């Protein structure tokens, strides 16, 4: 080890060895820094996705496995008297049409119970507050039980609605109706917008929030619902709770976590992350070519030293370990520099936001994780050891 350190810090090496050594550890430093920055950026993107799609969606959603709707009495709500459950709400989701004068828009109505507003922290996600209720969820739900709804900003823009002033129509197709000439196909009711919310792009374009009772009346659902929404307490494992609940309620109902409801989005992000990792591993392998060249030339240049060391009793395997350890020192130098640079860049981005997201005056999200640093350390140490060992073994046999 001592000899390897002497070789690493030696100023007597030829220019070519010194240059290749510097290129080796600088190249590895660049790869390590890039890995930390990219992994932290993907963590940031995933956190944004979780916030976006976690705001409006319940932690757990229950639907019927075979039918769109089911009677409330079909589901055993006593199963939700669980220490892991914070609150729950029955719900209806259905497509409707909105009309304001000559303007029309397709929408998705979400009929819910009072608990739902607490579940999604509605008062913290409003663009236009109802002046009399503001952040009072009980007061807000009282409005929903009347002829008031909460609207997505996209629908407000399309229909040119003024909250609290403009009255418009909600139209829903009549259930089990045989089409006859001259017969009205839609059931219609007049409502006003009491509040405008802001959750995520999808919800902000199409959703109308109303009370469950009013939605059932419009849609002709009587005591039927389409969903049960559940909010879990902090610290409860969503996957484990879902598995346990699915076993208890049987095969007539399907239980999904928030992740499963947006599985494609999360999987796409994870696939992109994996592709970047694979590409960066290949880049590291190319950077390791300089390490191979540096060790090769150094081994050849130090042949006199090798002969002297073997003459005083060192075994060939001991000499090989000297050069393998020298290769590891090069990797370690690059690793330390790379991790430091990566951390500094991520820290600066997180707190200053010098790189903004396209079209948005907001810094690109960064989330630093210890596991990412550990992954980079293990990867660099493993590949560095493999390349150093293979290079020294091959050279020592050839000479």
- Exposure b/e, 279-314, CB count within 10 A at least 16 = b: ebeeebeebbebbbbbbbbbbeebeeebeebeeeee
Identify whether the C-beta of residue 91 lies closer than 8 Å to the C-beta of residue 110: yes
Residue 105 shares a structural domain with residue 246 = yes
Residue 98 shares a structural domain with residue 236 = yes
CA distance 371 to 276: 17
| Higher pLDDT among residues 318 and 268, named by residue | 268
Per-residue pLDDT band for 54 (boundaries 50, 70, 90) equals confident
Q: Single out the residue in 227, 260, 293 at which a domain terminates.
A: 260
Residue 173 shares a structural domain with residue 96 = yes
Residue 49 shares a structural domain with residue 65 = no
Residue 205 shares a structural domain with residue 99 = yes
Per-residue pLDDT band for 247 (boundaries 50, 70, 90) equals very high
Domain containing 387 equals 2-53+265-398
Identify whether the C-beta of residue 292 lies closer than 8 Å to the C-beta of residue 324: no
Predicted pLDDT at 127: 86
The model's pLDDT over 129-184, given as tens digits with 9 standing for 90+, comes to 777 777 788 888 888 888 899 999 999 999 999 888 889 999 998 776 665 655 56
Residue 152 shares a structural domain with residue 212 = yes
Residue 124 shares a structural domain with residue 255 = yes
Instruction: Give the DSSP per-residue string, 303-324.
Output: HHHHHHHHHTT--HHHHHHHHH
The model's pLDDT over 346-398, given as tens digits with 9 standing for 90+, comes to 999 988 878 877 655 577 889 999 999 999 999 888 988 888 888 888 877 76
Residue 45 shares a structural domain with residue 92 = no
Say which residues have a Cβ less than 8 Å from residue 146's Cβ, sequence separation at least 6. none
The token pair at 313 is: 């009793």
Look at the block and give the residue holding tokens 């660049």.
30
List the Cα angle 274/275/277 in 5-degree steps.
65
Q: Single out the residue in 260, 286, 311 at which a domain terminates.
A: 260
Put simply, whether the predicted model's pTM sits higher than 0.75 gets the answer: no
Type and span of the H or E element at 195: strand 186-197
Taking 70 as the threshold, does the pLDDT of residue 309 lie above it?
Answer: no
DSSP annotation of 174 reads: P
Q: Single out the residue in 195, 225, 260 at which a domain terminates.
A: 260
Residue 193 shares a structural domain with residue 226 = yes
Residue 364 shares a structural domain with residue 341 = yes
Predicted pLDDT at 343: 95
Taking 50 as the threshold, does the pLDDT of residue 38 lie above it?
Answer: yes
The token pair at 288 is: 């390791």
Number of separate domains in the chain: 2
Predicted pLDDT at 10: 53
CA distance 341 to 346: 9
Beta bridge pairs of residue 60: 230, 257
Predicted pLDDT at 182: 54
Per mean pLDDT, which range of 9-18, 37-46, 134-143, 217-226 is the poorest?
9-18
- Exposure b/e, 28-49, CB count within 10 A at least 16 = b: bbbbbbbbbbbbbbbbbbbebb
Number of alpha carbons in the 13 Å side-chain half-sphere of residue 86: 17
CA distance 22 to 13: 12
Residue 41 shares a structural domain with residue 85 = no
CA 263 to chain centroid: 10
């Amino acid at each position: 080890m001592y000899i390897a350190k002497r070789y690493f810090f030696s100023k007597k090496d030829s220019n070519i060895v010194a240059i290749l050594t510097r290129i080796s550890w600088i190249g590895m430093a660049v790869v390590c820094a890039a890995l930390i920055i990219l992994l932290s950026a993907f963590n940031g993107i995933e956190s944004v996705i979780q916030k976006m799609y976690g705001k409006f969606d319940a932690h757990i959603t229950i639907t019927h496995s075979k039918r769109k709707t089911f009677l409330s009495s079909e589901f055993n709500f006593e199963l939700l008297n669980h220490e892991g459950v914070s609150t729950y709400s029955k719900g209806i989701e259905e497509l409707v049409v909105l009309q304001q004068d000559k303007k029309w828009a397709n929408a998705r109505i979400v009929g819910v119970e009072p608990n739902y507003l607490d579940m999604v922290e509605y008062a913290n996600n409003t663009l236009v507050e109802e002046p009399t209720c503001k952040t009072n969820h009980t007061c807000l739900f009282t409005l929903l039980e009347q002829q008031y709804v909460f609207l997505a900003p996209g629908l407000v823009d399309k229909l040119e609605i003024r909250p609290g002033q403009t009255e418009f129509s909600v139209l829903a197709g009549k259930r089990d109706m045989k089409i006859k000439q001259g017969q009205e196909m839609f059931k219609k009711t007049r409502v006003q917008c009491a509040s405008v919310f802001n959750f995520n792009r999808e919800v902000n374009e199409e959703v109308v929030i109303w009370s469950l009772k009013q939605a059932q009346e419009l849609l002709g659902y009587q005591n039927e619902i389409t969903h049960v929404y559940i909010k879990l307490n902090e610290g409860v494992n969503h996957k484990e709770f879902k598995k346990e609940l699915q076993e208890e309620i049987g095969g007539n109902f399907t239980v999904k976590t928030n992740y499963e409801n947006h599985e494609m989005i999360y999987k796409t992000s994870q696939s992109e992350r994996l592709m970047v990792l694979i590409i960066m591993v290949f880049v590291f392998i190319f950077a390791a070519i300089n390490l191979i060249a540096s060790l090769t030339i150094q081994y050849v240049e130090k042949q006199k030293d090798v002969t002297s060391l073997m003459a005083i009793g060192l075994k060939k395997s001991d000499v090989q370990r000297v050069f393998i350890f020298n290769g590891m020192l090069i990797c370690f130098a690059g690793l330390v520099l790379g991790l430091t640079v990566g951390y500094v860049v991520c820290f600066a981005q997180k707190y200053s936001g010098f790189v903004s997201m396209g079209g948005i005056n907001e810094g690109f999200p960064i989330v630093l994780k210890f596991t990412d640093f550990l992954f980079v350390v293990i990867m660099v140490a493993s590949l560095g050891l493999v390349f150093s060992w293979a290079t020294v073994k091959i050279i020592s046999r050839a000479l």
